[in-house]
Amino acid sequence: MTDPVNEDNNEEEREQSFAAMLESYSPAIETDINIGDKISGRVISIGKDTVFVDTGSKIDGVVDKAELIDKEQNLEIEEGDVLELYVVRLSDDEIRLSKAVSGIGGFQMLKEAYEKAVPVEGKITETCKGGFRVEILQRRAFCPISQVDLNYVEDASEFVGKTLNFIITTFEANGKNIVLSRRVLLEQEQEKSRKAFYETLSVDSLLEGQVTRVMPYGIFVKLSDGVEGMVHVSELGWSKAANPEEVAAVGDHVRVKVIGIEPDKKPGQLKISLSIKQLTEDPWNSVDQRFQVGAKIPGKVIRCANFGAFVEVAPGIEGLVHISEMSYTQRILKPEDVVSAGETVSVMIKDIDPEKRRLSLSIRDAAGDPWIGISEKYSIGQSLEGVLEKKEKFGFFINLEPGITGLLPKSNIGRSGSASELHKLKAGDPIPVVIEAINPAERKMTLAPANTKDEQNWQQFAGVTGSSMGSLGEKLQQAMSRKKTDK
């Protein structure tokens, strides 16, 4: 005997199964597909005139094969390829797809393209005031020059004759006033590319990019469509004197490291900080291998301070030339008396401290110490002419040559028979002297005035015979006369 309850259950299951099969064959269109949508679909099959695409719904999409043929009439797609197309028409049994609205169409098609923001294909025929005249569906439209590209257009004629996709932004007067924008489509593509790039972006990422701008504070690098990062001047290289214009030029391809990511002021965008120098080793890690104490090397003056000058001897490695290490031949009051920023100078390395990242340098040692070999060059009792450099209470400083200055003590001046004539001398005046003592270790030389008792020395100095010798005052007058003659 049949169980009535079981029969009812079986009948209900059969009805549900039949309904499911009926639904699977139903031509009803998924409600989430609308005109103007951009969909990605896989090519199912390629017919004689059409290509069938899986739309993700129960109805396959159809696109004219002619739209997918290139200028050489070649179809470069195959079954399984993924295409991005726009929905341009919907019906109960068909989803019509297109790269953009094109060909011969009517008012209604343009209106739908405007209302649904479906791209239309147009050919730029000529330039006009403020933009371009564009032919779409055998109608004339206008595209402002600011809307034809993302970047500033310098030569509008470059776009004439090109067939491009546009969005209709204005559709008035029954289609007589049509305004287009290509920029909107480019921005949409850029935004899509930007989001995809952001998903792969992270701090410490190593990237390749192209320099788009060079500014005094750094360089901007294009990392992807619509994505730029900045390399601050401090991250261009290890050198503190790095100049952006010397590191890169617009159009250069550079390798960079991402060192910072933070939200930008522009919604949906990120501020990306980059570095070029962090792709290379810190030069201080090998400074003691590259340089040795006592080595004489060239360097570039980076800046001057009250106590000395900083000199860069290699990118990222700079040392200090203390003011006391600037000259043996001059009395230096400020570094600018000897060097200036940007100048290349020779320096000698006096000390290297890698841990403290310090380098002690000397300009005067690189030039050479004039006191070296002084005993061979000068001798006690030698008479010669010097120049009065400075008067002090304890005596006169007499310069014999650059870097060699001796002291004429006050006691020696007082013993001279022409002390009054000596006191009349001014800085820069010539003065005949005799060397009394030389102390190379202490860099000191004691002098005495040449006098009439030193007949032989005066003959050497003045170039006259003993019969023509006179007083020290006369010899001073002769020296002064020679100075005036030389002038």
Residue 239 structural domain: 201-279
pLDDT at residue 193 is higher than 90 = no
Q: Is a pLDDT exceeding 60 seen at residue 165?
A: yes
For residue 332, is it within any domain? yes
Out of 342, 367, 392, pick the residue that ends a domain.
Answer: 367
Asked whether residue 361 falls in the same domain as residue 392, the answer is no
Do 295 and 244 reside in the same domain of the chain?
no
Amino acid 156 reads A
Tell whether 284 is covered by a domain: no
In a domain, residue 423? The reply is yes
Structure tokens belonging to residue 202? 């992270």
Q: Could you tell me the pTM of the whole model?
A: 0.54
Residue 24 domain flag = no
Contact 96, 34 (CB under 8 A): no
Query: pLDDT-based confidence at 102, cuts 50/70/90?
Result: low
Is pLDDT above 80 for 353?
yes
In a domain, 295, yes or no: yes
Q: End of a domain among 162, 187, 212?
A: 187
Q: What is the CATH number of the domain that holds 147?
A: 2.40.50.140
| Residue 214 is assigned to a structural domain of this protein | yes
**Domain end marker among 98, 119, 145:** 98
The closest of 374, 363, 368 to 442, measured between CA atoms, is 374
**Residue 251 clears pLDDT 80, i.e. is over it:** yes
Query: Which residue is associated with the tokens 């259950």?
Result: 9
Q: What is the mean pLDDT of the chain?
A: 81
Q: Report, as an integer, the average pLDDT of 461-475.
A: 45
Based on the fold, state whether residues 119 and 177 are members of the same structural domain: yes
- Distance from the Cα of residue 225 to its chain's centroid: 21
The yes-or-no verdict on residue 23 having pLDDT over 50 is no
392 & 481 share domain:
yes
Give the span between the Cα atoms of 187 and 177, in whole angstroms: 24
Instruction: Tell me, yes or no, whether 163 lies in a domain.
Output: yes
State the average pLDDT over residues 434-439: 90
Q: How many domains does the chain divide into? A: 5
Token pair 């993700």: residue: 56
Q: DSSP character for 325?
A: G
Residue (of 421, 418, 395, 423) closest to 407 by Cα position? 395
**What's the mean pLDDT in 222-240?**
89
* More reliable by pLDDT, 380 or 22: 380
Contact call for residues 347 and 321 (beta carbons, < 8 A): yes
Query: What pLDDT, in 10s, does the model give residues 208-219?
Result: 999 999 999 999
- Residue 462 scores a pLDDT above 50: no
pLDDT at 369: 77
Give yes or no for residue 329 having a pLDDT over 80.
no
For the segment 192-197, the average pLDDT, to the nearest whole number, is: 88
Q: Which of 104-108, 197-201, 400-404, 420-424 has the highest mean pLDDT?
A: 197-201
